[in-house]
Amino acid sequence: MTDTTSCLSRDPANRALSAAEARERMVAEVTPIRGHEYLPVRAALGRVLAADIIAPHDVPAHDNSAMDGYAIRFDSLSAEGETRLAVVGTALAGNAFSGLVGKGQAVRIMTGAVLPAGADTVVVQEVTRTEPGAVFIPSGQRSGQNTRKAGEDLARGAVAMAAGKRIGPAELGLIASLGVAEVAVKRRLRVAFFSTGDELASIGKPLAPGEVYDSNRYTLHGLLTRLGADIIDMGVVPDRPEALEAALAEAALVADAIITTGGVSVGEADFVRDILDKLGQVSFWKLNIKPGRPMAFGKVGQAWLFGLPGNPVAVMVSYTQFALDALLRLSGVDPLPERPLLSVESAVAIKKQVGRREYLRGRVGAVDGRWQVKMVGNQGSGVLSSMSEANCFIVLAEECAGVAVGENVQVQLFEGAF
């Protein structure tokens, strides 16, 4: 048996873990992968920073104007009524005014232009009136208004972006604003995956009696591609112990993580648990959720194993609610302490028994100016079409005993969640 940490020993009670407990254990067990590479900024989208980015200079580099208007000295203004100031020049973004703004003077200034020496306040052009060579400033201005201070965004030497940050469009812009052309990023996470089952057929071929097309590998391909992993599709593995053992051993040699679908329940052909006793160890087998109760988490060699159920919807629930956060942690990203949930009015009554967490497919929309959610499609764990129709999970906590029409429920929106 592969030597693994003591915390991966089999749960002696073989009990079903709560959703919170399972997620906490998975994220706590895994550690980020090692290895990094250097990429040009534009090629780093979606990657994970391997080292802090330090601001080489103040951002912005100079005090500047936040609005189009007039740069002035605040002490030039009268306490009451308008103040007439002489306009002595213009400051443009990229073309600073080189003189000094004295008392009783103003400089026409554009957004982003360096604040001229002597000026400390900008008055927006919309409230002023002008005559040749002069501008009239109304009362009611505030000292320092409409200005941005040097280093207001980032001070020189500050951590502009910490290691472990996943780089999105805003991060690309921030990195570019520092003049940084190349960044150190974590190598991509390597994930091997395969489906198990003699009943699975490849797409493009006629179905034999009792066969179904293997959709899970295509779902996982999409999920893992969106994650940004290097993926290794190992196809369909038959329900034979020697074939499953060989596939797991091969995957463990080339991947940081292994995802299987099917083969983790209590059926006669479910060999994965027995094989793991030989090749590695498992932390837990069962979750107190619906759908997705059978789910294995453990280790084969140095690769982390996520044994997901075989039903297509249960695969998506298990991946998005549990495996994803552990994979993010492996990639070098610290996932959020818990998944964001929104409170939305239920448009339908929902039946539920106390005792387990349930993830229902729902659709959130605006009805008469109020946000409401309703269940969509058949809620069976094998009905993938309802996942396509939905835009959220309706998340019902363990203690929930059902939902009445008009009662608020918690939902997790799909967009941005996986």
Residues 263 and 194 in one domain: yes
Residue 165 shares a structural domain with residue 41: yes
Q: Is 1 a member of any domain?
A: no
Strands 190-196 and 230-237: parallel
At 284 the pLDDT is 82
Q: Which domain holds residue 91?
A: 64-148
Are both 233 and 309 inside the same structural domain? yes
User: The domain spanning residue 169 has which CATH number?
Assistant: 3.90.105.10
Q: So what's the pLDDT on residue 2?
A: 35
Q: What was the pLDDT predicted at 8?
A: 40
Q: pLDDT tens, 205-234?
A: 888 898 888 999 999 999 999 999 999 999
Question: Which token pair is 407?
Answer: 């009662």
User: Are residues 257 and 286 both part of a single domain?
Assistant: yes
The confidence score (pLDDT) of residue 266 equals: 57
The domain boundary residue, chosen from 301, 331, 361? 331
Q: Which of 148, 169, 201 is the last residue of a domain?
A: 148
Angle, helix 272-279 to helix 241-254, in steps of 10 degrees: 50
- Rounded-to-integer distance, Cα 103 and Cα 402, Å: 71
Question: What pLDDT, in 10s, does the model give residues 153-187?
Answer: 899 999 999 999 999 999 999 999 899 999 999 99
Domain with residue 393: its CATH number is 2.40.340.10
**For tokens 């250097």, what's the residue?**
38
Residues 368 and 403 in one domain: yes
Say yes or no: 204 and 299 in one domain.
yes
Say how many domains are in the chain.
4
Q: Is residue 336 part of a domain?
A: no
> Do 294 and 395 sit in the same domain of this protein?
no
Domain boundary among 331, 355, 371: 331
* 3-state secondary structure at position 176: helix
Decide if 418 is inside a domain.
no
pLDDT at 241: 86
CB neighbours of 228 closer than 8 A, spacing ≥ 6? Answer: 46, 47, 188, 189, 331
Q: What is the CATH number of the domain that holds 70?
A: 2.170.190.11
**CA nearest neighbour of 77 among 118, 137, 35:** 137
Residue 347 placed within a domain: yes
pLDDT averaged over consecutive 10-residue blocks of the chain (418 residues)? 37 71 92 96 96 94 96 94 96 95 97 97 97 96 96 93 96 94 97 91 87 92 96 92 92 97 65 76 86 89 93 94 95 86 95 94 93 92 89 96 96 84
Q: Which of 318, 322, 267 is nearest to 293 (CA)?
A: 318
pTM assigned to the model: 0.84
- Residue 322, domain CATH: 3.40.980.10
Same structural domain, 42 and 177: yes
Peptide bond into 60 cis (omega under 30): yes
Give a yes or no: residue 337 inside a domain.
no
Same domain, residue pair 220 and 314:
yes
Residues 6+ apart with CB under 8 A from 262: 195, 196, 197, 216, 309, 310
CA angle 282–234–256, rounded 5-degree value: 50
Give yes or no: residues 181 and 207 share one domain. Answer: no
Residues 203, 131, single domain; the answer is no
Residue 349 and residue 370 in one domain: yes
